[in-house]
Amino acid sequence: MQHNKKSLEAVRHSLSHILAAAILEKYPKIKLGIGPTIEDGFYYDFDFNVSNEKRIKSNKSRIENLGNTQTYSKETRETIDLIEIEKQMRKLIKQNLQFKKESITFAEAKKTFSGQPYKLELIKELAKEKLKSQIKIQNLSIYKSGNFVDLCRGPHVKNTKEINPDAFKLTKIAGAYWKGSEKNPMLTRIYGIAFKNKKELDNYLKLQEEAEKRDHRKLGVELELFLINDEVGQGLPIYLPKGAMLRHNIMMFALNTYLEREYQLVTTPHIGSEKLWTKSGHLQFYKENMYSPLGIEGENYILKPMNCPFHIQVYKQKIRSYRDLPMRLTEMGTVYRYERSGVLHGLTRVRGFTQDDGHIICASNQVKSEIKKALELTIYILTTFGFKNFEINLSVRNPKSKKNYAGSEKKWKMAENALKQALKESGIKKIIKDVGGAVFYGPKIDIKVKDAIGREWQLSTIQFDFNLPDKFEMFYIDEKNKKQTPFMIHRALLGSLDRFMGVYIEHTAGAFPLWLAPIQVAIIPISQKQIDYAQKIFHFLKSENLRVELKDANETLGKRIREGEIQKIPYLLIIGDKEANNKTVNIRHYRRGVEGEINIEGLIKKIKKDITEKAI
């Protein structure tokens, strides 16, 4: 049984009705909420809090508490046996039930759903809307399948024959407030997933399992990389020594690469006067992403959500000539952007993050080559970190609503063409064009990467800006001694260092390559006897600027090796009597396994090679 995307949507939607039907059979007095489809599946909300029947057998292994939805109400915390419900759903599916759409009046609807207060509330709201909108909503649509009836717009499958009974699964239960408001009752939400076939379901489950193992929040704790707590504030990560070292290594690689490529370093403050944000237009267009101001001697200052206005100050420090262009400014700039606590997620969604930011200010005849250079640099940076699959998105104007964009027709045409040409000349074949995806201030290229388990992450962005050069009256003196407005290109290649770290931890599952690893080498003497020799090796490797740890002989050898493996340290150097006598070490590499005995000269050569080649 195969489905296209649209019919899979119908299958998922129909499964939510089947779920509700199955629950109703078991708990006839239950009150129904809503049951929509979501990414990969569906859910249905129920209010069990109505009779004694609410006390249901538990199946604790399948219960999960969602981070931001509070705990269940006490009554429904007793749990539901999802496997039993699944069985019941399969029974219903096998009855080849038809999904029949009917149109009924508001009066009929009230009667049909008389025992269902949440449905009645929805009907009441629809009636209100009908009055307000003055559109002719004469009737409401319902769907019937077997004994079950629901207020619903569809679409659904025609018959449960279309549903593969082996390609769905109920996944978890969580509490969720009716209509998402904590003023309303807490309902019990049952989630399910559904796919074309069992293979896809299994793949999905495997991916989920793999993703859970790689969850950077979990690895962040296990590998002692970072912590986030309430005392400091949510969305404000504190990097522990190992995480800070990893972050530093990533940052220094990016920074040094940019400096080699003729970027100039600048350093700017974290707050700026309201005057600046007014002039830049941020207070007009970006206010909802900015934090509330703090006052200093009667003037308001705001945490910077972007570095651009500061970089423009650097440009404007003196009168620029065409000889100064292209000017490429870079900063590892920490910005603060408002996020609701509900959407915060480890390092990938935070309230303060550091961009590997850069602004290229150039003349029109430099635009294409600068875009090409930025693209090439992006691919180089991402490839160095081991990402191989990229998706290039080109976001241009919606040609039907040209009035919504800043900058002249001529500039837009030039910029969009420059982007297209640059992509073409860079040999990039597959480009996903997003018409209308441009920001108001200019067209852009976004680069997504696929991680080790196939998930996509948007990291890099290269954006034109026609807005700020105008607002700040930026200019340069051209060859003919005339004032010209320069072009400005924003670019962040890792994007946010913090988000990048989150993605990178998941991509590598925390097994960082030697050049980045916070601890590169662990020395493990088999017993106390080799401790002197181990210490010599330790100090020697440190003098070679390596990040080394000596795991002393207080624990068993097995435990120390296991510890090194759990920490995912690239090189474990085991030292026994033989190695101490031979002046060697025995390499156990995290990825390559046991590599055996090697003398110190050979070891250093091997390690340095891995570092220079940035071997994965």
- Report the interface residues with a copy of itself, using CB under 8 A: 224, 227, 229-233, 236-241, 243-245, 247-248, 264-273, 275-276, 279, 291-297, 299, 301, 303, 309-310, 313-314, 317-318, 329, 331, 334, 336, 338, 340-341, 351-352
Residue from 116, 355, 366, 567 carrying the catalytic annotation: 355
98: DSSP letter: B
C-beta of 492: minimal distance to a copy of itself in Å? Answer: 18
Q: Are 309 and 350 contacting, i.e. CB atoms less than 8 angstroms apart?
A: no
Length of the chain: 616
490 tagged catalytic: yes
Q: Which is nearer to a copy of itself, 144 or 547 (CB)?
A: 547
Q: Which is nearer to a copy of itself, 118 or 353 (CB)?
A: 353
Q: What is the 3-state secondary structure (H, E, C) of 275-289?
A: HHHHHHCHHHHCHHH
Tokens of residue 335, six digits: 């910005």
Which has the closest alpha carbon to 176: 115, 91, 118? Answer: 118
602: left (phi over 0), alpha (psi -120 to 50) or beta: alpha
C-beta of 616: minimal distance to a copy of itself in Å? Answer: 24
C-beta of 354: minimal distance to a copy of itself in Å? Answer: 9
Tokens of residue 151, six digits: 């207020």
C-beta of 340: minimal distance to a copy of itself in Å? Answer: 7
DSSP string, 443-491: -EEEEEEE-TTS-EEEEEEEEEESSHHHHTT--EE-TTS-EEPPEEEEE
592 tagged catalytic: no
Q: Are 324 and 477 contacting, i.e. CB atoms less than 8 angstroms apart?
A: no
Q: How far is CA 500 from CA 348, 382, 583, in A?
A: 7, 10, 41
C-beta of 368: minimal distance to a copy of itself in Å? Answer: 24
Q: Which is nearer to a copy of itself, 169 or 247 (CB)?
A: 247
Q: Which is nearer to a copy of itself, 127 or 228 (CB)?
A: 228
Q: Which is nearer to a copy of itself, 313 or 369 (CB)?
A: 313
Residue from 31, 368, 444, 560 carrying the catalytic annotation: 444
Residue from 47, 119, 308, 420 carrying the catalytic annotation: 308
Q: Which is nearer to a copy of itself, 165 or 293 (CB)?
A: 293
Residue from 169, 247, 311, 337 carrying the catalytic annotation: 337
C-beta of 55: minimal distance to a copy of itself in Å? Answer: 36
357 tagged catalytic: yes
17 tagged catalytic: no
* CA–CA dist 353, 85 (Å, integer): 44
* CA–CA dist 162, 145 (Å, integer): 13
Q: Which is nearer to a copy of itself, 332 or 422 (CB)?
A: 332
Which has the closest alpha carbon to 616: 362, 383, 379, 271? Answer: 383
C-beta of 248: minimal distance to a copy of itself in Å? Answer: 6
Alpha helices (runs of H) in 95-162, residue ranges in sequence order? 106-112, 117-133
308 tagged catalytic: yes
Q: To 10 degrees, the CA torsion angle through 239, 243, 245, 249? A: -110
With H, G, I as helix, E, B as strand and everything else as coil, classify residue 34.
coil
Q: Which residues are catalytic?
A: 308, 337, 355, 357, 359, 444, 490
